[in-house]
Amino acid sequence: MTLSSLKGQRVVIYFYPKDDTPGCTKEACNFRDRWDVFADKGIKVLGISKDASSSHSKFIAKYQLPFILLTDEEPCAVASSYESYGLKKFMGREYMGMMRHTFVVNPNGLLELIYRKVKAEIMADQILNDLNLV
């Protein structure tokens, strides 16, 4: 799948650190719970992490996620192009990792909204509100 193949549609791309972790689950479930609005408006939702396809499949099944999860393996070229992969700090430790960032691409393929400070449990609601769809 390429973003250019989705031209003509609005697309939400959300980068997240890891399948089936507390914050990532809240974010995915918020998109799931608001899925009817995204689907009715023809908006594609794509979640991207470093996790393998097998992990995505389990995550999708466990939480009945109706949207696509994609794998961006090291060196995380897709996330890097969105400045969503880089140095992170957690409990005094530094490491390279996926940032929790979200982007909305308009039907012309241009960035419409950028979220660098994401509240996982309300991200889908915030997008819908910012697009005046609720």
Domains along the chain?
8-128 (3.40.30.10)
Q: Check whether 2 has a pLDDT greater than 80.
A: no
What is the model's pTM?
0.95
Write down the H helix ranges in 22-134.
Answer: 22-33, 35-40, 53-63, 77-81, 123-130
Report pLDDT digits (tens) over 24-67: 999 999 999 999 999 999 999 999 999 999 999 999 999 999 99
DSSP 8-state code for residue 59: H
Selecting among 12, 24, 48, 98, the annotated active-site residue is: 24
Q: What are phi and psi of 56, to 5 degrees?
A: -60, -45
Local structure of residue 42 (DSSP, 8 states)? T
pLDDT band of 74, cuts 50, 70, 90: confident
Q: Which residues pair with 13 in a beta bridge?
A: 46, 103
Paired sense of beta strands 68-71 and 85-90, if any: unpaired
- Say whether 24 is catalytic: yes
